[in-house]
Amino acid sequence: MPFFQSQPAASRRSRRREAWIGLGLIMTSVVIALLGGELAARTFGTDPKRWQFHNFVSDPLLMEGRWRTMQPDELLGYVPRPSYSGTDHGGRALLTFDKNGLRVHRRKYPPPSQETPPVLVVGNSYAMGEQVADDETLPAHLQAILDRRVLNGGVLGYGIDQIVLRSEILVPAFRPDLLLVSFIADDVRRAQMRILWGIDKPYFDIIEGALRLRGVPIKPPVASTSLPLDPVRRVLGYSFLIDVVMRRLGMSFYWLRGQPRHAEAAHDQGARVACLLMDRLRQLGKTHGAGVLVVAQYTPTAWLRDSTLRFETQITAQLLACARKSGLDTLDTAAATEATVRTDGLERYYFDRHMNDAGNRLTADLIARRVAVR
């Protein structure tokens, strides 16, 4: 009798052993695959710190990945990293800056004359061309249409205050005969902030009706060793592969949650600051003999939600009115962009949160027609 009872027990032990062996083989295969992916990501990646052993989530210079393409600046908070070239700005297309921190474009098709004063484009990510390749940006298309030199001084994430401050640096250096200032409605809100995207930024107070620059010089980011990381990010944050995947899947909100002081307002006077900054642009153009064209652009959400469209058009209309009152030329792209998007579809002109190649070409066409009648 005991002999016959031992057979099922032995069979069960054998099946359990086989199950554990199978599970072990699966886990070993997964580990090997992940290690292979990690090695490939680090080998073919562009981040100079990819071979360092550290937690990429708690990297104090991360700022949503921007320190790979940007560097700290004591006046503006951050500026493009000179001579940077790589695909690490959304991971989809080549991003190249020259030695002056201007985005490079159309190197194979330079304009006919390098001596003619250029057009200088400034603004935020819409001007810089976030998520598109070097030759797909608004300035790249504008150069092709106008057949003259166009410089790209746009910087992702800037508020209208930083845009104007950068203009005051670039205009004397490059002597354009036209300064093109691109903005979206959120740039006005950004002018209220003393901390944005997790780092300090310059901002203006209004004292007796005049602007006063505050918060400068800006100190470089300081390392933090006590970021509130959950167990998942505390462990997986050491993987460069996981870091790349999380950013490219658009999961940065979770992945970077807990970064210290992501945003902090200095005041709620963004609209008044932006309006007064138009006078600074007028004076800048007058001093250096450059015309100024202020261009309002719109996010894809404006064409998806009527409430967002009303909000964005209200903010941009106010700022454009201030620009005209200061004697500046203006262009509102709302009507033309909306008509085209309604006809051809949003995906034809936008990718994620920004304009794609076709969208930038559309905007460049609108600007070129406006420039032609100046």
Closest CA to 212 of 272, 265, 261: 272
pLDDT, mean of residues 242-257: 72
Core vs surface per residue 340-370: b (16+ CB within 10 A) or e = bbeeeeeeebbbeebbbbbbbbbbbebbeeb
**Which range, of 177-186, 229-238, 347-356, 363-372, averages the lowest pLDDT?**
229-238
* Residue 2, pLDDT score: 52
Answer yes or no: is pLDDT of 79 > 50: yes
Q: pLDDT (tens digit, 9 = 90+) per residue, 268-321? A: 999 999 999 999 999 999 999 999 999 999 999 999 999 999 999 999 999 999
Mean per-residue pLDDT of the chain: 88
Given this model, what pLDDT does residue 198 score?
A: 75
Give the 3-state secondary structure of residue 143.
Answer: helix
Q: Answer with the residue of higher pLDDT: 3 or 314.
A: 314
List, in sequence order, every residue forming a beta bridge with 2; answer none if it has no partner: none
Mean pLDDT of 351-365: 95
Give the span between the Cα atoms of 268 and 67, in whole angstroms.
28
Is 60 exceeded by the pLDDT of residue 258?
no
The DSSP code sequence of 164-228 is HHHHHHHHHHH--SEEEEEE-THHHHHTTEEEETTEE--EEEEETTEEEEES-SPPPP---S---
Which tens digits make up the pLDDT trace of 6-55? 566 667 777 778 778 878 888 888 888 888 888 888 887 666 667 877 78
CA angle 283, 188, 327 (to 5 degrees): 30
Neighbours of 225 (CB within 10 A): 6
Strands 119-122 and 150-152: parallel
Percent of the chain with pLDDT over 70: 87
Question: Which candidate, 319, 331, 325, 334, places its Cα nearest to that of 293?
Answer: 331
Non-local CB neighbours of 305 within 8 Å, separated by 6+ positions: none
User: Which pLDDT belongs to residue 232?
Assistant: 83
Average pLDDT over residues 243-263: 67
pLDDT of residue 225: 47
Q: What is the pTM of this model?
A: 0.77
Q: Give pLDDT tens digits for 86-136.
A: 986 655 689 999 999 999 999 999 887 778 899 999 999 999 999 899 999
- Distance, CA of 132 to CA of 87 (rounded, Å): 10
Over residues 324-353, the mean pLDDT reads: 96
Cα atoms in the Cβ-side hemisphere of radius 13 Å centred on 49: 18
